[in-house]
Amino acid sequence: MPVDLPTPFLCVDVDVLEANLRAMAAGAAARGLALRPHAKTHKCVRIARRQMALGAKGLTVATVREAEVFADGGLDDLFIAYPVWPSPQQTARLRALARRVALRAGVDSAESAAALGRAVPGLEVLVEVDSGHHRSGAEPGRAGEIAVAAQAAGLRVRGVFTFPGHAYGPQRQRSAQEDESTALATAAASVAAAGLDAGVVSGGSTPTAALTTAGPITEMRPGLYVFGDAQQIELGTADWSQIAMTVASTVVSRRADRVIVDAGSKILGADRQPWATGHGRLPDHPDARIVALSEHHATVTLPDGTPLPALGDTLQIVPNHACAAVNLADELIVVSGGELVDRWPVDARGANT
Amino acid sequence: MPVDLPTPFLCVDVDVLEANLRAMAAGAAARGLALRPHAKTHKCVRIARRQMALGAKGLTVATVREAEVFADGGLDDLFIAYPVWPSPQQTARLRALARRVALRAGVDSAESAAALGRAVPGLEVLVEVDSGHHRSGAEPGRAGEIAVAAQAAGLRVRGVFTFPGHAYGPQRQRSAQEDESTALATAAASVAAAGLDAGVVSGGSTPTAALTTAGPITEMRPGLYVFGDAQQIELGTADWSQIAMTVASTVVSRRADRVIVDAGSKILGADRQPWATGHGRLPDHPDARIVALSEHHATVTLPDGTPLPALGDTLQIVPNHACAAVNLADELIVVSGGELVDRWPVDARGANT
């Protein structure tokens, strides 16, 4: 065990993290794409600053509260990639943010644009369109009319964005990235045809990042690449050498054919896509599977004939979904060469509002 | 919307909570069962104190850290219902706890009993047995030999326990409760045959609580009954009138046939059993379903012909698994008659170690 702390805890290998940050920054630069990493994955001001130092154009966040936390941390160019509904409670906070930093938000309907324009006059917005994930986002061909409504409401339209979340499936990265490009091209043309600014054409997602090229897309917003996770391993969009974060756990119980460790859903997260092979993966035991997960128990099986770990042994587990695991921890334990070198607070943990 | 706060947040109806606490306390008392509620559900000292005031014998917790938090809150009879492995980091903490409160822990093997005995001499333990959930816990017939090992290691054996987690499935409550009774009877007899104390025979779980009777069981450890959740609704082990906690969310986007609200997996939790109908339920729209969940989006569909909620409307969502949702929040917003009456900290949020 590299670090003498009670398990379970989140362990970040700073050298792998740095390599991941550099590789994505270099890849975006080589293709002429602006990089605006999604900070919901790491929720950590220290990592955001490093992303900026390596050339990121700004940061993406999911909530007003995340924007506040990163603004407090000195990040001054923030895009809330979300169809923000300006409730009375949110309006004053958005106005204050817009005075402190370069702020941009999402809109996906004329009605929400009207409300946002009343709440935060002059706010920069991107029109969100649906590229196939069927979550929020307007039909791409309607981006122009929403942009016109936003402009009329006093917002400043700067372009369009989408999240190709349907890339999260086996062999779906290429088609989802094509959907993303097509939807964004349609949306940008629709906004331009309405005589408004479609200069920012922003796509997203770690699984599609390697496939993204400039034109129509100008900017990408990957998040998970900083740590990788078991989903990326199983999708083939990260390899083991890119896994920068694990949960350190202890074997607390053994049966004939399995061990139980003390990392459960309250540290790993319960996210499990239908195609996942289990509730996380073990880098030191690639053939092991986590076949069951409770709040404080993970049940780990190994292939027949593999010696079982002993009681008290430490096992490193890669969570299925790094964003969920980070949001369950107060701090990241930072290691280099197996030694503890730092502890970073998860500044935006629980920043849901 | 009852409370003027930014969404999403956890909203607890204190009157429903109180009714749930009273009903479980009365039901246990009427059957001659000691009640030792599992505090991992609420993680809240205020609720634990109320459980004690209503006659609970003590509290159950899942981790050493939870025990520390509740000890700090004045709770002085704590059972860590977990096969505690006394790592060097945990040993000093367990010793300190054992000096402050009546402390009990679980053991499920001779080897872990030996380690625990070396670490915390004189600690009271219950032998954990497997009643069909196949997580931690020894075979019931081996409880005696583990008890003997525990005694030899300097621990004080007080009985046996199990968690019938396989009750979490449709129509499985009765058979799981029978399994629990059988396993505990076997385990208690095995310990008694070894000449050791099997006075505490402790079972668990909210789904089986109504079916549990005294003999061999002496104590129950339900947790979820305080709040209820969508799992309990769909299992039929709670009804809507017993739902004490919801997530307040705002409609941020609308499509032709669905709305998107701002409560995602980072407040609802991602827990979803294979038999669940979705990612949570809506008490005001019992026929609605949450068909997709991202970190900050829930996609809600309603039956054909039902008018869709408007942008900005507040929707109350019952999480699938209340324990997971509570662990994602810093505080519980407490209401009575639709008005805010208090805010309770989630004292043991993130207390994983």
Mean pLDDT value across residues A11-26: 98
Number of residues that make up chain B: 353
pLDDT of residue A335: 98
Mean pLDDT value across residues B6-33: 98
Q: Which two tokens stand for residue B258?
A: 């669905």
Q: Answer whether residue B89 shows pLDDT above 90.
A: no
Q: Answer whether residue A180 shows pLDDT above 80.
A: yes
Of the pLDDT bands very low, low, confident and very high (cuts 50, 70, 90), residue A2 is low
**Average pLDDT, rounded, for chain A:** 97
- Cβ contact, residue pair A296, B250, below 8 Å: no
Question: pLDDT digit string (tens) for B232-264?
Answer: 999 999 999 999 999 999 999 999 889 999 999
Of the pLDDT bands very low, low, confident and very high (cuts 50, 70, 90), residue B1 is very low
Mean pLDDT value across residues B34-40: 98
Count of CB pairs separated by less than 8 Å, A with B: 169
Mean pLDDT value across residues B111-138: 97
Q: Identify the bridge partners of residue B254 per DSSP, sorted by sequence position.
A: B259
Question: pLDDT digit string (tens) for B293-305?
Answer: 999 999 999 999 9
Give per-residue burial for B69-96: e unless 16+ CB within 10 Å, then b. bbbebebebbbbbbbbbbbeebbebbbe
Mean pLDDT value across residues B34-58: 98
Question: pLDDT digit string (tens) for A254-276?
Answer: 998 899 999 999 999 999 999 99
Mean pLDDT value across residues B89-104: 96
- Cβ contact, residue pair A350, B327, below 8 Å: no
Q: Which residue among A115, A165, A294 places its CB closest to the CB of B294? A: A165
CB-based contacts of B256: which residues, under 8 Å, 6+ apart?
none
Which structural domains are found in chain A, ordered by start? 15-226 (3.20.20.10), 231-345 (2.40.37.20)
What is the signed CA dihedral for A163, A167, A168, A173, rounded to 10 degrees? -150
CB-based contacts of B164: which residues, under 8 Å, 6+ apart?
B131, B132, B133, B176, B177, B179, B180, B203, B204, B205, B208
What is the percentage of chain B residues whose pLDDT exceeds 90?
Answer: 97
Question: pLDDT digit string (tens) for B263-283?
Answer: 999 999 999 999 999 999 999
- How many alpha carbons lie under 13 Å from residue B104 in its C-beta half-sphere? 22
For B30, other C-beta atoms within 10 Å of its C-beta total: 8
Question: pLDDT digit string (tens) for B179-233?
Answer: 999 999 999 999 999 999 999 999 989 999 999 999 999 999 999 999 999 999 9
Question: pLDDT digit string (tens) for B296-338?
Answer: 999 999 999 999 999 999 999 999 999 999 999 999 999 999 9
Give per-residue burial for A329-347: e unless 16+ CB within 10 Å, then b. bebbbbbbeeeeeeebebb
Alpha-carbon span B49 to A282, nearest angstrom: 40
Q: Answer whether residue A322 shows pLDDT above 50.
A: yes
Q: Answer whether residue B70 shows pLDDT above 80.
A: yes
A291 close to B (CB below 8 A): no
Alpha-carbon span B159 to B135, nearest angstrom: 19
Q: Are B220 and B27 in contact (CB under 8 A)?
A: no
A231 close to B (CB below 8 A): no
* Shortest alpha-carbon distance between residue B312 and chain A (Å): 7
Mean pLDDT value across residues A275-286: 97
pLDDT of residue B72: 98
Query: Chain B: residue nearest A271 by CA?
Result: B270
Alpha-carbon span A104 to A60, nearest angstrom: 9
Out of A70-79, B83-92, B105-114, pick the least confident.
B83-92
B168 close to A (CB below 8 A): no
Question: pLDDT digit string (tens) for A211-233?
Answer: 999 999 999 999 999 999 999 99
Question: pLDDT digit string (tens) for A54-88?
Answer: 999 999 999 999 999 999 999 999 999 999 999 98
A353 close to B (CB below 8 A): yes
From B120, B43, B118, select the one nearest B75 (Cα to Cα): B43
